[in-house]
Amino acid sequence: MKLEKLPLKLLLGLLFISVIFNCSKKDDIVVDTPQPAVEEPQPVPLEPQPVALNNEINDFVWKGLNEIYLWQGDVPNLADDKFTSQDDYYTFLNSYSTPENLFDGLLYQKDVVDKFSFLVNDYVALENSFQGNSNSNGLDFRLVRLSGSDDVFGYVRYVANDSDAASKDISRGDFFMTVDGQQLTINNYSDLLFGSNNTYTLGMADIINNTIASNGKTVELTKTNFTENPILINKVIDTDGIKVGYLMYNQFISNFDTALNDAITELKSQGVTELVLDLRYNPGGSVNTAIILSSMITGQFTGDVFSTEKWNSKYQQYFEANNPEYLINRFTDKLSDNSPISTLNLNKVYILTTSGSASASELVINCLKPYIDVVQIGTTTTGKYTASVTIYDSPNFGRDNANPNHTYAMQPLVLKSANASGVTDYYNGLDPDYPITYQTSSGSSYEGENMTDLGTLGDINEPFLAKALSLITGVTTKSSNSKYNKNILGFDIDNVADSKDFAPLGKNMFIKLKPNE
């Protein structure tokens, strides 16, 4: 027996006995008595504690994207077999500090391929935006800066009807430089114009001799809960004996489908034989409304293929096996409430575009092309051929029974659209047949609107509309008013942003999942 194997208390006892014996009588020491073996107690192993999830929203984000995201199969971290256990899964989710960081980290080549999926923390505001309802003063504008400068200034593109801005002394073509006395810069424009301040004062400006400077005028604007009618202008232009319908339509909003039908009915009643559809500021919206508008322009293709859809592999395989018709959108002769639509039965349409024309606007152009002559005028569009759907934190990702603990929702891209000829993937946008260009004082040439010569929307001399009318009539529109002089030089500028970039929906195209699927 080795002493070092004994428990500490027993070892000390033996040493104590040895000392006593050594102090009494050397010859009486007996150490041959065998001692019982004592087992050293073994520690009881602790069961590992399960990993706790830090944020339930992260769980919603991963499961929603794994379920329906268009590029789910291309993102390794969204693979169905990514995790071997719940602990493994929760450890991964906990490595992201916020739902926003996780969402961005799971997107496929964010800002390169996927430029449009987004996450919101207030789905009520998102839902309102689908109906054209937002916190707005009704001013639509673009922000730019002179090359090499951090200072930013804005110019007004249009003022929404019946808005706060419509009641103020401000209109298309006006410039502004300051907000509440502060010069707009590349670093502060977001907070000053799109922050929490519902009321602000713009410092207006003029451009004189290629220089922008304050003119001393101010305009106070107040944001309210405002629903913008996307039909800004609907009129008939009688030119050279030809009745031309002009419709400026600024967002595809299903709540206004009846109003859109009324607008087409009015054009039809006045006997238009040509249509100029102005989508230059239209960032998109409802796919169903795009189908309805395209069916109104035509009317002779009811039931034909408007577009086809491609989903992620899981959904695509399911639809192809069980309901392939689900993947097809067809021209229609009815609104969503089954009321009949008015149709113009046109074989040609003139569509005005800019880089701000996106998603559902591009869908109309691309999906009409296999059927009629689409004449595109202006500049190249955004390049968005994909659609999204709203995903809520509920057992089936729908709005009903959404988690009451938060109001997060996702708007991930879930499908891409192709026209009846199979054309899709227009990453770089749709190019115009007739580009609109202008010269700057430096001798450079730019495509798009010249902010120093915008013209009045709906006026026959406004550069974009004038080009369409000249193609229709074969006569170049001219004006003695120098405001519309093509020789007015523009500025060398860099685009910064426009007001629609900060709307909850942005430049997005969305669908509602079809019933019973």
What is the predicted pLDDT for the residue at 27? 36
Q: How far apart are the first and last CA of the chain?
A: 78
Place of tokens 């708007």: 411
What is the predicted pLDDT for the residue at 15? 32
Query: Is residue 24 scored above 50 in pLDDT?
Result: no
Q: Residues 44-53: pLDDT tens digits?
A: 666 778 999 9
Which fold is adopted by the domain 228-510? 2-enoyl-CoA Hydratase; Chain A, domain 1 (3.90.226)
What is the predicted pLDDT for the residue at 1? 32
Nearest-angstrom CA–CA distance, 189 and 207 = 20
Mean pLDDT confidence for 466-487: 69
State the pTM of this model.
0.85
Segment among 14-23, 154-163, 332-341 with least mean pLDDT: 14-23
What is the predicted pLDDT for the residue at 147? 77
What is the predicted pLDDT for the residue at 476? 75
Domain chopping of the chain, boundaries? 56-111, 133-226, 228-510
Report, at the CATH architecture level, how domain 133-226 is classified: Roll (2.30)
The letter for the amino acid at 195 is: G
Nearest-angstrom CA–CA distance, 279 and 231 = 11
Nearest-angstrom CA–CA distance, 418 and 309 = 7
Query: Is residue 212 scored above 60 in pLDDT?
Result: yes
Nearest-angstrom CA–CA distance, 447 and 379 = 6
Mean model confidence pLDDT for the chain? 88
Q: Residues 348-395: pLDDT tens digits?
A: 999 999 999 999 999 999 999 999 999 999 999 999 999 999 999 999
What is the predicted pLDDT for the residue at 516? 43
Q: What percent of the chain has a predicted confidence (pLDDT) above 70?
A: 86
Query: Is residue 226 scored above 60 in pLDDT?
Result: yes
Q: Residues 165-207: pLDDT tens digits?
A: 999 999 999 999 999 999 999 999 999 999 989 999 999 999 9
Are residues 509 and 287 in contact, defined by beta-carbon separation less than 8 angstroms?
Answer: yes
**Quick one: tokens of 250?**
């600024």
Q: Residues 397-432: pLDDT tens digits?
A: 999 999 999 999 999 999 999 999 999 999 899 999
Per-residue HEC secondary structure of 253-282 comes to CHHHHHHHHHHHHHHHHCCCCEEEEECCCC
Which residues make beta-bridge pairs with 278? Answer: 248, 352
Nearest-angstrom CA–CA distance, 425 and 403 = 36
On the CB side of 409, CA atoms within 13 Å amount to: 22
Mean pLDDT confidence for 300-324: 97
What is the predicted pLDDT for the residue at 440? 86
Out of 29-43, 126-140, 156-170, the most confident range is 156-170
What is the predicted pLDDT for the residue at 45? 66
Segment among 82-86, 219-223, 429-433, 485-489 with least mean pLDDT: 485-489
Cβ-based neighbour number of residue 361 at 10 Å? 33
> Cα 16 from chain centroid?
84
Q: Residues 282-301: pLDDT tens digits?
A: 999 999 999 999 999 999 99
